[in-house]
């Protein structure tokens, strides 16, 4: 099981802030494809991944990053701090 977190408009589009996901995904992209196939709201949130950023176990990474041993994956738009 993996905790998948959503922030900002990704959270709004999917409708929940986090969920536990049963997955065999090898990379972040595999997980995205699994989520996209679930329901329209996921497909809408992940329609353009160039508009998204991802963190695996709270470290920013890329969509080709491996998920072996990962406990937490978070998807969100580019950050706007400061």
Partner 1 sequence: MHIAVQDAPFDFGMEAEEFARARAVSGAIVTFTGIVRDVDGGLRAMEIEHYPGMTEAALTEIADQAVTRWSLEDALVIHRHGRLAVGEMIMMVATAARHRKDAFEAAEFLMDYLKSRAPFWKREITQDGAEWVAARDEDEDALTRW
Among the listed residues 11, 13, 32, the one whose alpha carbon sits nearest the alpha carbon of residue 23: 32
- Contacts to partner 1 from residues 22-61, by CB under 8 A: 55, 58-60
For partner 1, the closer CB: 9 or 33: 9
Tokens of 33: 């494809």
Applying CB under 8 A, what is the total number of residues that bind partner 1? 16
The Cα–Cα gap between 46 and 13 comes to: 10
Angstrom CA distances, 72 to 11, 40, 41, 82, stand at: 15, 23, 21, 25
CB of 40 to partner 1, least distance (A): 20
By CB under 8 A, name the one of 1, 22, 68, 78 that touches partner 1: 78
Residues of this chain that bind partner 1 (CB under 8 A): 5, 7-9, 55, 58-60, 74, 76-82
């Amino acid at each position: 099981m993996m905790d998948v977190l959503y922030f900002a408009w990704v959270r709004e589009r999917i409708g929940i802030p986090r969920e536990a996901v049963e997955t065999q995904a090898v990379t972040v992209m595999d997980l995205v494809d699994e989520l996209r196939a679930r329901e329209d709201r996921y497909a809408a949130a992940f329609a353009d991944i160039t508009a998204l950023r991802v963190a695996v176990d709270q470290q920013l990474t890329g969509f080709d990053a491996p998920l072996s041993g990962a406990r937490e994956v978070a998807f969100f738009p580019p950050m706007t701090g400061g």
